[in-house]
Copies of this chain bind each other. A is one copy, B any other.
Amino acid sequence: MQKITLLIHCEDQPNIIASITSFMASNDGNIVYIDQHVDREQNIFFMRLECEFASSSFSIEKFKALFKNSLAEKFKLKWRMYAAERKPKMALFISKYDHCLYDILGRYNSGELFLEIPFILSNHLDLKPIADSFKIPFFHVPVTKTTKHEAEQKQLELLEKHQIDFIVLARYMQIVSGTLIDKYPNKIINIHHSFLPAFVGAKPYHSAYKRGVKIIGATSHYITEELDAGPIIEQGVTHVSHSHSIKDLIAKGRDLEKIVLSNAIKLHANRKVMVFNNKTVIFS
Protein backbone atom coordinates (compact mmCIF):
# COMPACT_ATOMS: atom_id res chain seq x y z
CA MET A 1 0.00 0.00 0.00
CA GLN A 2 1.42 3.37 -1.01
CA LYS A 3 -0.07 6.70 -0.09
CA ILE A 4 0.34 10.10 -1.70
CA THR A 5 -0.52 13.59 -0.56
CA LEU A 6 -1.55 16.01 -3.28
CA LEU A 7 -1.82 19.79 -2.98
CA ILE A 8 -3.42 21.76 -5.78
CA HIS A 9 -4.45 25.28 -6.59
CA CYS A 10 -5.83 26.76 -9.77
CA GLU A 11 -8.45 29.12 -11.07
CA ASP A 12 -11.83 27.97 -9.84
CA GLN A 13 -13.72 26.13 -12.56
CA PRO A 14 -16.62 23.69 -12.88
CA ASN A 15 -16.07 19.97 -12.39
CA ILE A 16 -12.62 20.35 -10.93
CA ILE A 17 -13.41 18.22 -7.86
CA ALA A 18 -15.14 15.49 -9.82
CA SER A 19 -12.37 15.39 -12.41
CA ILE A 20 -9.64 14.92 -9.86
CA THR A 21 -11.51 12.32 -7.83
CA SER A 22 -12.39 10.40 -11.01
CA PHE A 23 -8.77 10.49 -12.12
CA MET A 24 -7.71 8.91 -8.85
CA ALA A 25 -10.40 6.25 -9.05
CA SER A 26 -9.57 5.38 -12.67
CA ASN A 27 -5.96 4.84 -11.59
CA ASP A 28 -7.03 2.43 -8.82
CA GLY A 29 -6.49 5.01 -6.10
CA ASN A 30 -8.71 5.13 -3.03
CA ILE A 31 -9.15 8.65 -1.72
CA VAL A 32 -8.94 8.61 2.07
CA TYR A 33 -8.90 12.37 2.70
CA ILE A 34 -10.17 15.31 0.72
CA ASP A 35 -10.55 18.92 1.69
CA GLN A 36 -10.96 21.98 -0.45
CA HIS A 37 -11.32 25.73 -0.26
CA VAL A 38 -12.43 28.35 -2.73
CA ASP A 39 -11.17 31.90 -2.33
CA ARG A 40 -14.14 33.74 -3.76
CA GLU A 41 -12.38 37.12 -3.78
CA GLN A 42 -9.66 35.85 -6.05
CA ASN A 43 -11.55 32.96 -7.64
CA ILE A 44 -8.91 30.41 -6.70
CA PHE A 45 -9.56 26.77 -5.92
CA PHE A 46 -7.39 24.93 -3.37
CA MET A 47 -7.41 21.22 -2.63
CA ARG A 48 -5.61 18.76 -0.40
CA LEU A 49 -6.09 15.10 -1.05
CA GLU A 50 -4.67 11.84 0.28
CA CYS A 51 -4.98 8.75 -1.87
CA GLU A 52 -3.93 5.14 -1.34
CA PHE A 53 -2.75 2.79 -4.09
CA ALA A 54 -2.79 -0.92 -3.36
CA SER A 55 -0.97 -2.08 -6.45
CA SER A 56 2.58 -3.25 -5.90
CA SER A 57 3.51 -1.82 -9.27
CA PHE A 58 2.51 1.73 -8.30
CA SER A 59 5.30 4.27 -8.81
CA ILE A 60 4.89 7.81 -7.58
CA GLU A 61 7.26 9.07 -10.28
CA LYS A 62 5.21 7.53 -13.05
CA PHE A 63 2.02 8.73 -11.45
CA LYS A 64 3.38 12.27 -11.24
CA ALA A 65 4.16 12.20 -14.96
CA LEU A 66 0.71 10.88 -15.75
CA PHE A 67 -0.94 13.52 -13.57
CA LYS A 68 1.15 16.26 -15.12
CA ASN A 69 0.31 15.34 -18.66
CA SER A 70 -3.37 14.86 -18.12
CA LEU A 71 -5.12 16.76 -15.35
CA ALA A 72 -2.44 19.30 -14.47
CA GLU A 73 -2.23 20.58 -18.02
CA LYS A 74 -5.94 20.48 -18.67
CA PHE A 75 -6.88 22.53 -15.59
CA LYS A 76 -3.67 24.58 -15.48
CA LEU A 77 -2.99 23.31 -11.97
CA LYS A 78 -0.20 24.38 -9.68
CA TRP A 79 0.49 21.24 -7.71
CA ARG A 80 2.79 19.31 -5.41
CA MET A 81 2.67 15.56 -4.80
CA TYR A 82 4.44 13.74 -1.96
CA ALA A 83 4.98 10.16 -0.98
CA ALA A 84 3.13 10.37 2.31
CA GLU A 85 5.59 8.23 4.24
CA ARG A 86 8.59 10.40 3.32
CA LYS A 87 9.57 12.62 6.24
CA PRO A 88 10.64 16.15 5.28
CA LYS A 89 14.09 17.31 6.36
CA MET A 90 14.21 20.39 8.56
CA ALA A 91 17.23 22.55 9.39
CA LEU A 92 17.05 24.46 12.67
CA PHE A 93 18.67 27.91 12.80
CA ILE A 94 19.18 29.26 16.31
CA SER A 95 21.13 31.92 18.21
CA LYS A 96 21.08 32.23 22.01
CA TYR A 97 17.48 31.71 23.13
CA ASP A 98 16.82 28.10 24.04
CA HIS A 99 13.07 27.88 24.81
CA CYS A 100 11.94 27.12 21.25
CA LEU A 101 14.88 24.78 20.79
CA TYR A 102 14.02 22.71 23.87
CA ASP A 103 10.39 22.62 22.87
CA ILE A 104 11.10 21.42 19.34
CA LEU A 105 13.72 18.88 20.35
CA GLY A 106 11.55 17.54 23.17
CA ARG A 107 8.75 16.91 20.68
CA TYR A 108 11.20 15.50 18.13
CA ASN A 109 12.52 13.04 20.71
CA SER A 110 9.07 11.89 21.72
CA GLY A 111 8.11 11.16 18.09
CA GLU A 112 5.52 13.93 17.92
CA LEU A 113 7.07 15.53 14.82
CA PHE A 114 6.88 13.90 11.40
CA LEU A 115 10.28 15.10 10.18
CA GLU A 116 14.03 14.65 10.37
CA ILE A 117 16.51 17.19 11.71
CA PRO A 118 19.81 16.62 9.87
CA PHE A 119 21.47 19.55 11.64
CA ILE A 120 21.21 22.60 13.85
CA LEU A 121 23.01 25.77 12.79
CA SER A 122 23.84 28.73 14.99
CA ASN A 123 25.78 31.97 14.77
CA HIS A 124 26.79 31.36 18.40
CA LEU A 125 28.23 28.44 20.32
CA ASP A 126 26.11 28.86 23.47
CA LEU A 127 23.49 26.23 22.69
CA LYS A 128 25.82 23.59 21.27
CA PRO A 129 25.55 21.49 24.46
CA ILE A 130 21.80 21.17 23.93
CA ALA A 131 22.29 19.94 20.37
CA ASP A 132 24.91 17.53 21.68
CA SER A 133 22.64 16.18 24.40
CA PHE A 134 20.04 15.41 21.74
CA LYS A 135 22.78 13.95 19.50
CA ILE A 136 22.04 16.24 16.57
CA PRO A 137 24.93 17.60 14.46
CA PHE A 138 25.63 21.25 15.28
CA PHE A 139 27.30 23.72 12.93
CA HIS A 140 28.67 27.01 14.13
CA VAL A 141 28.39 29.62 11.36
CA PRO A 142 29.23 33.00 12.88
CA VAL A 143 27.88 36.07 11.13
CA THR A 144 29.67 39.41 11.24
CA LYS A 145 29.54 42.36 8.90
CA THR A 146 32.60 41.15 7.08
CA THR A 147 31.75 37.42 7.04
CA LYS A 148 28.14 37.82 5.99
CA HIS A 149 28.60 36.57 2.45
CA GLU A 150 30.86 33.74 3.50
CA ALA A 151 28.34 32.68 6.15
CA GLU A 152 25.58 32.61 3.60
CA GLN A 153 27.65 30.41 1.31
CA LYS A 154 28.33 28.04 4.17
CA GLN A 155 24.61 27.92 4.97
CA LEU A 156 23.64 27.18 1.37
CA GLU A 157 26.25 24.48 1.18
CA LEU A 158 25.01 22.75 4.33
CA LEU A 159 21.39 22.99 3.26
CA GLU A 160 22.16 21.46 -0.10
CA LYS A 161 24.44 18.78 1.22
CA HIS A 162 21.79 17.59 3.68
CA GLN A 163 18.95 17.91 1.17
CA ILE A 164 17.01 20.16 3.47
CA ASP A 165 13.32 20.63 2.64
CA PHE A 166 12.57 23.51 4.95
CA ILE A 167 14.24 25.79 7.48
CA VAL A 168 12.99 26.87 10.88
CA LEU A 169 14.30 30.05 12.48
CA ALA A 170 13.86 29.26 16.16
CA ARG A 171 14.59 32.77 17.43
CA TYR A 172 17.55 33.06 15.01
CA MET A 173 18.71 36.64 15.50
CA GLN A 174 20.08 37.39 12.04
CA ILE A 175 18.41 38.68 8.90
CA VAL A 176 18.21 35.84 6.39
CA SER A 177 19.58 36.77 2.97
CA GLY A 178 17.48 37.24 -0.13
CA THR A 179 19.40 34.45 -1.82
CA LEU A 180 18.25 31.98 0.82
CA ILE A 181 14.68 33.25 0.66
CA ASP A 182 14.67 32.86 -3.12
CA LYS A 183 16.02 29.34 -2.86
CA TYR A 184 13.51 28.29 -0.19
CA PRO A 185 10.33 30.18 -1.05
CA ASN A 186 7.61 29.61 1.57
CA LYS A 187 9.97 27.12 3.14
CA ILE A 188 11.60 29.27 5.83
CA ILE A 189 9.45 29.48 8.95
CA ASN A 190 10.04 32.27 11.44
CA ILE A 191 8.56 32.99 14.86
CA HIS A 192 7.93 36.66 15.52
CA HIS A 193 7.25 37.62 19.11
CA SER A 194 4.21 39.78 18.52
CA PHE A 195 0.70 39.57 17.23
CA LEU A 196 1.44 40.66 13.66
CA PRO A 197 0.85 43.09 12.04
CA ALA A 198 1.14 44.87 15.40
CA PHE A 199 4.70 45.53 16.54
CA VAL A 200 6.70 44.66 13.46
CA GLY A 201 10.46 44.72 13.92
CA ALA A 202 12.74 44.68 16.93
CA LYS A 203 11.71 44.67 20.60
CA PRO A 204 7.98 44.01 20.19
CA TYR A 205 7.48 43.29 23.90
CA HIS A 206 8.86 46.72 24.72
CA SER A 207 6.44 48.28 22.25
CA ALA A 208 3.53 46.24 23.63
CA TYR A 209 4.41 47.37 27.14
CA LYS A 210 4.58 50.99 26.04
CA ARG A 211 1.22 50.82 24.24
CA GLY A 212 -0.41 49.22 27.26
CA VAL A 213 -2.06 46.35 25.38
CA LYS A 214 -4.08 43.81 27.37
CA ILE A 215 -3.18 40.86 25.14
CA ILE A 216 0.18 39.89 23.66
CA GLY A 217 0.85 37.43 20.87
CA ALA A 218 3.24 35.48 18.75
CA THR A 219 3.13 34.83 15.03
CA SER A 220 4.70 32.12 12.94
CA HIS A 221 5.07 33.02 9.27
CA TYR A 222 7.05 32.29 6.16
CA ILE A 223 9.94 34.65 5.59
CA THR A 224 9.70 37.01 2.64
CA GLU A 225 11.89 39.92 1.60
CA GLU A 226 9.75 42.40 3.52
CA LEU A 227 10.37 42.20 7.27
CA ASP A 228 7.66 40.38 9.28
CA ALA A 229 5.27 40.64 6.36
CA GLY A 230 5.23 37.07 5.05
CA PRO A 231 2.27 34.67 4.98
CA ILE A 232 1.01 33.90 8.49
CA ILE A 233 0.79 30.22 9.44
CA GLU A 234 -0.26 30.37 13.07
CA GLN A 235 -0.85 32.92 15.82
CA GLY A 236 -1.33 32.65 19.54
CA VAL A 237 -2.21 35.16 22.23
CA THR A 238 -2.35 35.47 25.99
CA HIS A 239 -3.83 38.01 28.38
CA VAL A 240 -1.59 40.46 30.22
CA SER A 241 -2.24 43.32 32.60
CA HIS A 242 -0.72 46.55 33.87
CA SER A 243 0.97 44.49 36.57
CA HIS A 244 3.25 42.76 34.07
CA SER A 245 6.68 44.28 33.55
CA ILE A 246 8.52 43.99 30.25
CA LYS A 247 10.37 41.06 31.77
CA ASP A 248 7.05 39.39 32.55
CA LEU A 249 5.84 39.95 29.00
CA ILE A 250 9.00 38.35 27.68
CA ALA A 251 8.52 35.32 29.95
CA LYS A 252 4.85 34.93 29.05
CA GLY A 253 5.74 35.46 25.41
CA ARG A 254 8.23 32.60 25.46
CA ASP A 255 5.36 30.20 26.17
CA LEU A 256 3.47 31.54 23.18
CA GLU A 257 6.48 31.49 20.91
CA LYS A 258 7.31 27.87 21.49
CA ILE A 259 3.77 26.56 21.13
CA VAL A 260 2.99 28.68 18.06
CA LEU A 261 6.26 27.78 16.33
CA SER A 262 5.88 24.07 17.02
CA ASN A 263 2.33 24.13 15.71
CA ALA A 264 3.49 25.84 12.53
CA ILE A 265 6.24 23.27 12.09
CA LYS A 266 3.73 20.45 12.41
CA LEU A 267 1.37 22.01 9.87
CA HIS A 268 4.20 22.51 7.38
CA ALA A 269 5.76 19.08 7.91
CA ASN A 270 2.37 17.42 7.46
CA ARG A 271 1.88 19.31 4.17
CA LYS A 272 -1.20 21.09 5.39
CA VAL A 273 -0.16 24.61 4.35
CA MET A 274 -0.66 26.23 0.95
CA VAL A 275 0.43 29.77 0.13
CA PHE A 276 -1.23 32.08 -2.36
CA ASN A 277 -0.89 35.82 -2.69
CA ASN A 278 0.92 36.15 0.65
CA LYS A 279 -1.78 34.31 2.60
CA THR A 280 -2.00 30.73 3.77
CA VAL A 281 -4.67 28.11 3.42
CA ILE A 282 -4.38 25.68 6.35
CA PHE A 283 -6.02 22.31 5.85
CA SER A 284 -7.40 20.32 8.77
Contact = CB atoms under 8 A, between A and B. Distances in A.
Contacts of A36: 33-35
A282 B242 contact: yes
A185 interface: no
A155 interface: no
A252 B35 CA distance: 22
Contacts of A254: 112
The interface residues of chain A, by DSSP majority, are classed as mixed
A84 interface: no
A196 B217 contact: no
Interface in A16-55: 17-19, 21-22, 24-25, 30-41
Contact of A242 (B105, B241, B280): B280
Interface of A: 14-15, 17-19, 21-22, 24-25, 30-41, 98-99, 102-103, 105-107, 109-110, 112, 129, 133, 195-199, 211-215, 217, 231-237, 239, 241-243, 245, 251, 254-255, 259, 262, 278-282, 284
